[in-house]
Structure 1
Amino acid sequence: MKHTQSRGEWIGSRGAFLVERHIADAMAAPHWHDHVELNLLMEGRMTYLFNGRQEQVEAGRLVLFWAAIPHQTIAVAENAPLVCLYVPLVDFLSLPVDRKARQSIMQGRFLAQGNQETMDALTLPRWEKEWQFGSAARRKLVVEEARLRIRRLILDNAEIDNSPTHVSPTSLAGHAVRHVELLIDLINSRYADPISVADLAKLAGMHPSTANSAFRKILGISVNEYLTRHRIARAMQLLTDTDDPVLQIGFDCGFGSSSRFYEIFKERTGTTPRHFREAVNSKTTPAQ
């Protein structure tokens, strides 16, 4: 399944909340981007390969996952319409949800609605139409409604003890979250530079160990791992949406040499940048 959007708009852009609807199909290779993704399959079934596991998705059941973890649809029923919401990571981190539940998602949990919710089958297609054709006020309402739906999905799946858990938005927006937000902003703007974790931490006004500690606490990965995933995701976008030379894309995405670019790209995707581009083009070029 290839997540499509208008040319020039990439879902990996931190500031972009996006809703789209398309017919799901099998993906040529895994991909990832720095959003939390909410999916609703309208009809049929499909299977994700996510974080090394096969996850079955049934029609009518919401699923949620952190899309910076490589994911790929490997089996899809014919003519299966899918509605996808892409929530910027920092927006997700600001939600007042259970901390353990949030961490489990950041560390690779594939969250699924236990039962079909009739309203979801009506609401998500409406969100998609209002996002594509609605006014600014309606788009804002879509974002607010989506945030609430995500909170309910997480609450429905959380392991709740005998006493109610009251989550304070203020407590969640603590030092660690603020550190992560600042570092993500820096990575988004400086990923093309030959920059190290120490450099990023200095720009953020913190010690490198503090930066890594915050990332591991909130996201379950190091700053360098996030930087690598971000660079790979940017490279995949450029390989898909431009005709720029492969080596130029590697340098533009912060890889210091062509060998380093090829090595990391193949390690993370299972294919070379050139073969990735060829596979994408073969799936998007209309048959003659």
Structure 2
Amino acid sequence: MSKPSNSVEREALMTSAGGFLIERHIADAMSAAHWHDHVELNFLVKGQMTYIFNGRQEQVEAGRLVLFWAAIPHRTIAVTPDAPLICIYLPLADFLSLPIERHVRQSIMQGRFSADTRPYPSDAMLLPQWVTDWQHGDAARRQLILDEVKLRIRRFVLDTPDDTRDLAPPRSTPAVSIAVQRAETLTDLIHARYSEPISLPMLAERAGIHPSTANKIFHSVLGISVNEYLTRYRLARAMQQLAETSSPILQIAYDCGFGSASRFYDIFKRRTGTTPRLFRSSLGRNGITNEGDAAPP
């Protein structure tokens, strides 16, 4: 497997692969936000990295595994030079099949960015070995890597307190702090009102920003427009409901602000390559519930 040279090539490689993937590269700043339907794990070998995830700055420190649902738009905005980064892309269906507590799974799918509270020295040895074995191993060894990744995620979840996001508020980088703060205001409004028929002028008015300024800020921080972020966020929340609930698809379309079933189907098909119904059926139901949960019909 050739090593992708930049974030665009890596995204194309990961998307074309479709399933599980683990790779190592030198971390770089991304020109725009991107998204994909995997649960992503990052392990920075050395240095520091700053993400804009879910509209907020998140610091990634060397030696600490981080986990997030990559269907939420995200972008790297600051990276220590020559910082090696290991990325693991786990398909959503594999994540949903893990026997972890339902509220933890839901919090991740609702935009939680989780990080190990302390380094695990074994990660620094094990994860590079996974990369090598994945590149050169046969099918049996690759399956073993996938199984080991799932076990590592289960340990990660057990060791991560529910209030991790509140332990260390992200620090703003001075060069981007004003733009990031305004972008956070806009994303907070989107997260709170995505189910409503909102528009860019309405969001900008509530944030006290001119609509053109709002879009300029979004492009500078996330690389996409406010409306594009709103569409991607609505789609991510719809995917969560399709995976986590048995609600009718029409109800999900309205609950997530799409306005009509036809608009929802059109956007979902164009952006994911499948329909909401096929997406839901592809996940099955075996991983949706845990012992003690009521199984959906």
Aligned mate of 1:22, from 19, 22, 25: 25
Structure 1: which 5+ runs fail to align? 161-196, 198-203, 235-252, 255-288
Matched, 1:140 2:178: no
Counterpart in 2 of 1:264?
Answer: none
Cα distance in 2 for partners of 1:83, 1:135 equals 20
Cα distance in 1 for partners of 2:253, 2:158 equals 23
Counterpart in 1 of 2:279?
Answer: none
CA contact (8 A) 1:29 1:72 kept: yes
Aligned mate of 1:102, from 97, 100, 105: 105
Q: How does 1:115-264 map to 2 (within 5 A)?
A: 115-159=118-162, 209-211=247-249, 228=267, 231-232=270-271
Cα distance in 2 for partners of 1:221, 1:88 equals 26
CA contact (8 A) 2:100 2:154 kept: yes
Cα distance in 1 for partners of 2:35, 2:62 equals 23
Aligned mate of 2:15, from 8, 11, 16: 11
Cα distance in 2 for partners of 1:213, 1:96 equals 28
Counterpart in 1 of 2:63?
Answer: 60
Q: CA deviation at 1:124?
A: 0.8
Compute the TM-score of the two structures, normalised by the length of structure 2.
0.55
CA contact (8 A) 1:36 1:92 kept: yes
Question: Aligned letter for 1:211?
Answer: I
Cα distance in 1 for partners of 2:52, 2:269 equals 20
Aligned mate of 1:82, from 82, 85, 101: 85
Q: CA deviation at 1:21?
A: 0.4
Question: Aligned letter for 2:62?
Answer: A
Cα distance in 2 for partners of 1:225, 1:61 equals 38
Q: Identity of aligned pairs, percent?
A: 53
Counterpart in 2 of 1:2?
Answer: 7
Distance 1:122 1:213, change over 3 A: farther
Q: How does 1:273-284 map to 2 (within 5 A)?
A: none
Aligned mate of 1:114, from 109, 112, 117: 117
Distance 1:212 1:119, change over 3 A: farther
Distance 1:10 1:159, change over 3 A: closer
Cα distance in 1 for partners of 2:36, 2:141 equals 26
**Displacement over 4 Å in runs of 4+:** 212-217, 220-227
Q: How many residues align?
A: 187
Cα distance in 2 for partners of 1:93, 1:215 equals 22
Distance 1:3 1:152, change over 3 A: farther
Cα distance in 2 for partners of 1:122, 1:227 equals 45
CA contact (8 A) 2:48 2:62 kept: yes
